[in-house]
Structure 1
Amino acid sequence: MNPSNPSSPGPSTSPTPPGTTDSSAEDGAGAREHASITAFRAALAEAGGTGRVVVLPSSVHTAALAAEALGCEVGAIANSLLFDAAGSPVLVLTSGRHRVDTAKVAAEQGLPPLKRATPEFVREHTGQVIGGVSPLAHPSPVPTYLDRALRDYPELWAAAGHPAAVFSTTYDELLALTGAREIEVG
């Protein structure tokens, strides 16, 4: 149920997209779920999230490929981009149809210059790996910014703590789950 509109269906009402696995305790092959997905699932439930966790085929490693596998527009993919702002993490959740103008975001938000985070920096601040950084379930809170363009989609898909896992959500739910500040990224 969409918390801002109780009469509209929430993200958990759509079926599992073809070629994907609705993930719970086991993946599609019967193996145990990856620990990072399990940790994400617990954080999502604790935060009151209603979305479904879906495991995508391993060949899906871009927003465009994820959108194709999920049967949605690329703009409905909420990419989690962690930046290094003078040693502090900054997370930008952006539509798959956008590139982040880091100079603009830094200037408008009063942040130090945003530079690409190293894999070690990402793991240190999120507990996750590049390609699987979720909007939540980090060891410590990370300042988060949300691309307003994601509001254009009734259902969003974001990483679920592992490069092969995503979860469904809505813009309003993602905003509530993360406490993000809404911004224009381009």
Structure 2
Amino acid sequence: MSTSDTNAPTGPDSAAAHPRFAEALRRLGLDVEIRRFPEATRTAAEAAAAVGCELSEIVKSLVFEADGVPVLVLMDGSSRVDMELVRRELRATKVRRPGADVVREATGYAIGGVPPFGHRTRTRVLADRGLLAHEVVWAAAGTPYTVFPLNPRTLIEHAGGTMVDVREQAT
């Protein structure tokens, strides 16, 4: 990627991460490259285009409510979450997508910048096995403009994730 490219990162600077996420990295002893982009990377497609990777190498950190309790689902960027599989996995009566206020309250981050760990509150985390298909995945670093790379097993471990199969199957 050339530095004249309009999607070029402004630099690998851990200070570019959201302060709460930067603190989580420090506490976990993780030294990762935070890449900040001038254009938003709110969606998996935007992030993949900015990074220059496959869509499936992006980690979506999605908040759901299972019987009113927030739960985080980590899913690769090219797949959709099957809410029925999440419901069964959690043995919940109802699973739904909450509003932006619930996401921010539970995680401390806005939709489009939610990282896989470093949240305001401890939530249950489900990680789809599809993430393990890659040596490195990219996830949000707490803002809609920042991402970081990490081995998926390490990412899931630090997120406290339980490995599951909750990917929507093509019909």
Give me the identity figure in percent. Answer: 38
Residue 172 (1) aligns with residue 161 (2): no
Of 103, 122, 127, the match for 1:146: 127
User: Counterpart in 2 of 1:24?
Assistant: 14
Give the alignment's TM-score, normalised by structure 1: 0.80
CA positional deviation for 1:136: 1.2
CA distance in 1, matches of 2:79, 2:18: 26
CA distance in 2, matches of 1:56, 1:167: 11
User: Counterpart in 2 of 1:181?
Assistant: 162
| Cα pair distance change 1:160/1:60, threshold 3 Å | closer
Instruction: Tell me which amino acid in the other structure corresponds to 1:171.
Output: P
CA distance in 2, matches of 1:24, 1:179: 22
User: Counterpart in 2 of 1:126?
Assistant: 107
What's the RMSD between the two structures over aligned residues?
A: 2.0
Residue 68 (1) aligns with residue 49 (2): yes
Instruction: Tell me which amino acid in the other structure corresponds to 1:135.
Output: P
SS state at 2:111 partner: coil
SS state at 2:18 partner: helix
**Structure 1 residue ranges without an equivalent (≥5):** 1-15, 26-32
Instruction: Tell me which amino acid in the other structure corresponds to 1:132.
Output: G
CA positional deviation for 1:55: 1.0
Give the alignment's TM-score, normalised by structure 2: 0.87
Indicate if the aligned counterparts of 1:24 and 1:53 stay in contact, CA closer than 8 A. yes
Q: How many residues align?
A: 162
